[in-house]
Amino acid sequence: TWAVSIYLYWSLNKEKSISHTLNSSIGYKRQMQNDIVIPYEDDEKKRWRAKSKYYDPNNLIKKDDIIRQKLNPIPVKAVNDNEMSDIGIVRNLDDLKVRNEGYKLHGFNALVSKNLDYHRSIPDTRNDLCKSSKYSDGLPHASIIICFYNEQFDTLARTIHSILDRTPANLLHEIILVNDFSDTSGLYETVKLYINANLSSKVKLYSTTQREGLIRARLFGSDKASGDVLVFLDSHVEVNVHWLEPLLQRIYENKSAVVTPIIDIINADTFEYSASPIVRGGFNWGLHFKWENLRTGFLNKAEDFIKPIPSPTMAGGLFAIDRHYFNNLGKYDSGMNIWGGENLEISFRIWMCGGSLEIIPCSRVGHVFRKRRPYGSPDGEDTMIRNSLRVAHVWMDEYKEYYFRQRPEAVNVHFGDVSSRIALRKSLNCHSFSWYLKNVYPELTLPTDTDDIQQRKSKLLVSDLKKRNQVYIGHYQLRLSKTGLCLASEKDVKTKGSRLVLRNCLRVKNQLWSQTDKGELRLAQYLCLDGEEVHPRLSKCHEMGGTQKWKHKYSTNVPVYNVAAGMCLAAEKSQVNSYVIMDICSSNDKTQWDFIPVSL
C-alpha cells in the first residue's frame, strides 16, 4: 500500500500540474466551463422534469456481464445501492494508469468508459408525445461526419455503435470518420483494424495529413460525403432512440432549416446519461456560446414540447444540414484554427442569409461534457480569440465594438485574411447584424456597467436558496476501524482547502460529519469533503455531486468510496495526526471506517 500511495500521490499531482500548465499557458483559461453551464432551472422546469418518468438513475449504466465476472467486485455498498458504484473502482495499478492518463488525455474517466459495454442502453429521454410521432416515407439519407483528435478508442467505438444500433439502415448513407492527425500512439491503426474486422462498409475512415483543427477537419469530411444531408457529431456521443428521423423530417419539409438535437449529458466522471432541460442557444458579448431559457410562454400546450424551437445560436458540435444548402451557404470558414467560434459563425450566417436554426426536441443525443479541454493548438495560439475576431469582422458590423470592449486584449491579435468571407456575405445578400439582433435574438441586451453587480446579486440569491433546502440524513463521527482515531479537519472547520487528518475521537465540531441527501459529507454542516485530489480537502459545497459525493453503508468496517474519483478514503498511517488520502479501494484496515451516530 505504501508504494501504491506514493505512486498515486505522484501521478495525481503530475496530472494536476500538467492540466494547470495546459490551461494557463495556452490561454484557454476557464472559458470552456462557462460554455457548458446549463442555466439555473427555475421551479417550473424542475417540476416538469420531476414529472417526466424517464429519469431513472438506477438504470443508467449496465455493464457487460463478462467484464463484471472478470473484475470480481469487492464489497463496496452504498445506502441507495445501485450498480454504478463499482464500474469506476480502481483495483490495481493498471486501472489507476488508465484512469489518470484518461483524465489527462481526454478530460474524462477513461476507466469507466473502458469497462462499459460498446452497446449499452440509455434512458429514452424523449417526451412521451414523440413516441407517437409519424415520419414521412422517402426521407433524405444522411452522411454522418465525425472528426476526432486523440479520442479514447472505447468512447469512439461506443459513439459509432450507438449510431449503427439506433439508426434505420435505409436512412444511413455512410459514417465518415476523420482522424485529425491524432498523436496518441496507434489510434488510427486501431480504429482502422476495428472497422475492417467488425463494421459495415458504410463506415469510412480518413485522415488529415497534418493537424487541421475541428473546422477544417469537418470541411475535409464534408467534401467526401455524398448523402443528401450532412450530420456532424463529436467523437464522444451516444445517440438515443429515433434520434435521426425527426431531424431528417424537418429538413425534408424545409431545406434551409438547420437542426440540432437536444444535447443530453453524459457525465465525464461516471458516464451516467441524463436528460437536459429544453433550452436555446445564445451568446454573450465575449462571443461565448451560452444556454438561454426559452421565451416565457413558449411552452404552453403539451405539443409545444415536441415542436421545433428557433434558436439564435447552436453549441456547434451536433447538427444536421442539407448537403447542398451547406455548400451553397459557404460551408465553414477555413481560416479558423483548431477550436472555437465556428458555432457562432455558422449560426449568424444561417439566420442572416435566409435560413433558420432550430432545436428538434424529439431528437436526443448525449455528449460527454468534459471538465476541461485536454488539448491546445500546436503553436499555442489562442484560437478562440482568433476565430472570434473573424466572426466579429465578417458578421457583426458596428456591434463588433462590444466584443472589443469586452475583450480589449483581442484588438491586436492576428486573425488572417477575411476578404473571401466578406465577399461571401455580399454574394449571399445577407441581412445586417442589427436585423439579426432585432428579429432573432431581441433578448440579448447591450452590455452595461451594472451587469456585473446584477450577476453577483443573482448568484447570492441562488446560494441562499440552496442553504435553506438542505436535507440531512444523519450525523456521524467516522472512526478508523480498530482504532480510537477519527476523521477530522487539519485546520478550523471553516477553513476552505484544509486537509483531513486523524485525531483522537472526541465529540467536537471538528469531527462531526453530516450526511446530506446528495451524498455529501459536511463537516459541522458547513464545508464539504471533496475527493478530487490525492489529499481530500474541505471545499465549498457545490451540490453537484461529483467529487463531493460519497458512497458507503452506515455501519462498521466499511470503505468510503468516492464515485467520481473511483477511490476510497484511507488513512496514510494509523497514527494521530497522520493524513487521510484517496487510495485504491481494498479490504485493508486503512480503508475501513465505522460510522458512529451522533445526536445533535
The one of ligand LR7, Mn ion, none whose footprint includes residue 313, by CB under 5 to 8 A per kind, is none
CA distances from 297 to 214, 242, 305 (A): 37, 28, 12
Q: In the stretch 173-212, what mask flags binding to ligand LR7 with x, by CB under 6 A?
A: -------x------------------------------x-
- Hey, how many other C-beta atoms are within 10 angstroms of the C-beta on 592? 22
CA-nearest of 71, 68, 175, 63 to 121 is: 63
Tell me which residues in 209-238 interact with Mn ion (CB under 5 A): 234
Shortest distance, position 279 Cβ to ligand LR7, whole Å:
10
Give the HSE-up count for residue 500: Cα atoms under 13 Å, Cβ half-sphere: 33
> Contacting ligand LR7 (CB under 6 A), which of 195, 214, 418, 565?
214
In whole angstroms, what is the distance from residue 64 CA to residue 327 CA? 43
Shortest distance, position 236 Cβ to Mn ion, whole Å:
6
Q: Which is nearer to ligand LR7, 270 or 514 (by Cβ)?
A: 270
Q: In the stretch 426-465, what mask flags binding to ligand LR7 with x, by CB under 6 A?
A: ----------------------------------------
Shortest distance, position 518 Cβ to ligand LR7, whole Å:
24
Q: Which is nearer to ligand LR7, 342 or 382 (by Cβ)?
A: 342
Give residue number: closest CB to Mn ion: 234
Q: What is the DSSP string of 206-219?
A: EE-SS--BHHHHHH
Shortest distance, position 234 Cβ to Mn ion, whole Å:
4
Q: Which is nearer to Mn ion, 234 or 572 (by Cβ)?
A: 234
Going 240 to 245 to 246 to 250, the CA torsion angle's sign is positive
Question: Which residue matches cell numbers 444511413?
Answer: 172
**Is residue 325 within 8 Å of residue 255, measured between CB atoms?**
yes
Q: Is 264 in the site for ligand LR7 (CB under 6 A)?
A: no
Q: What share of the chain is helix, strand, coil (3-state, %, to 5)?
A: 35, 20, 45
Q: Which is nearer to ligand LR7, 151 or 572 (by Cβ)?
A: 151
Give the HSE-up count for residue 188: Cα atoms under 13 Å, Cβ half-sphere: 13
Shortest distance, position 263 Cβ to Mn ion, whole Å:
10
Helical (H) or strand (E) element with 35? helix 31-35
Q: How many residues bind ligand LR7 (CB under 6 A)?
A: 25
Shortest distance, position 29 Cβ to Mn ion, whole Å:
18
In degrees and rounded to multiples of 5, residue 26 shows phi and psi of -85, -15
In whole angstroms, what is the distance from residue 5 CA to residue 95 CA? 14
Q: In the stretch 177-216, what mask flags binding to Mn ion with x, by CB under 5 A?
A: ----------------------------------------
In whole angstroms, what is the distance from residue 167 CA to residue 346 CA? 26
**Amino acid residing at 593:** W
Task: Compute the C-alpha angle 335/336/338, nearest 5°.
Answer: 135
Q: How many residues bind Mn ion (CB under 5 A)?
A: 1
Shortest distance, position 240 Cβ to ligand LR7, whole Å:
14
Cβ-Cβ contacts under 8 Å for 201 (sequence gap 6 or more): none
The one of Mn ion, ligand LR7, none whose footprint includes residue 338, by CB under 5 to 8 A per kind, is ligand LR7
Task: Compute the C-alpha angle 462/464/467, nearest 5°.
Answer: 110
Q: Which is nearer to ligand LR7, 316 or 536 (by Cβ)?
A: 316
How long is the chain? 600
Q: Which is nearer to ligand LR7, 87 or 263 (by Cβ)?
A: 263
> Contacting ligand LR7 (CB under 6 A), which of 61, 112, 263, 570?
263
> Contacting ligand LR7 (CB under 6 A), which of 102, 213, 330, 376?
213
Number of H helices, E strands in the chain: 17, 24
CA-nearest of 201, 478, 427, 436 to 312 is: 436
- Hey, how many other C-beta atoms are within 10 angstroms of the C-beta on 145? 23
CA distances from 267 to 95, 264, 356, 431, 520 (A): 19, 10, 31, 39, 18
In whole angstroms, what is the distance from residue 502 CA to residue 493 CA? 14
Q: In the stretch 6-35, what mask flags binding to ligand LR7 with x, by CB under 6 A?
A: -----------------------------x
Q: Is 539 helix (H, G, I), strand (E, B) or coil?
A: strand
In whole angstroms, what is the distance from residue 524 CA to residue 494 CA? 9
The one of ligand LR7, Mn ion, none whose footprint includes residue 343, by CB under 5 to 8 A per kind, is ligand LR7
Cβ-Cβ contacts under 8 Å for 546 (sequence gap 6 or more): 269, 564
- Hey, how many other C-beta atoms are within 10 angstroms of the C-beta on 162? 22
Instruction: Locate 402 and state its grid cell.
Output: 462590444
Q: Is 325 helix (H, G, I), strand (E, B) or coil?
A: helix
Shortest distance, position 285 Cβ to ligand LR7, whole Å:
18
Question: Which residue matches cell numbers 488529415?
Answer: 208
Shortest distance, position 383 Cβ to ligand LR7, whole Å:
8
Q: Which is nearer to Mn ion, 291 or 402 (by Cβ)?
A: 291
Q: What is the DSSP letter of 32?
A: H
Q: In the stretch 337-376, what mask flags binding to ligand LR7 with x, by CB under 6 A?
A: -xxx-xx-----------------------x-----x---
The one of ligand LR7, Mn ion, none whose footprint includes residue 318, by CB under 5 to 8 A per kind, is ligand LR7
Q: Which is nearer to ligand LR7, 229 or 318 (by Cβ)?
A: 318
Tell me which residues in 143-172 interact with ligand LR7 (CB under 6 A): 147-149, 151
The one of ligand LR7, Mn ion, none whose footprint includes residue 355, by CB under 5 to 8 A per kind, is none
The one of ligand LR7, Mn ion, none whose footprint includes residue 566, by CB under 5 to 8 A per kind, is none
The one of ligand LR7, Mn ion, none whose footprint includes residue 522, by CB under 5 to 8 A per kind, is none
C-alpha of 493 from chain center? 32
The one of Mn ion, ligand LR7, none whose footprint includes residue 315, by CB under 5 to 8 A per kind, is ligand LR7
Q: Which is nearer to ligand LR7, 34 or 556 (by Cβ)?
A: 34
The residues that touch Mn ion, with contacts defined as CB under 5 A, are 234
The residues that touch ligand LR7, with contacts defined as CB under 6 A, are 35-36, 147-149, 151, 180, 211, 213-214, 217, 234-235, 263, 315-318, 338-340, 342-343, 367, 373
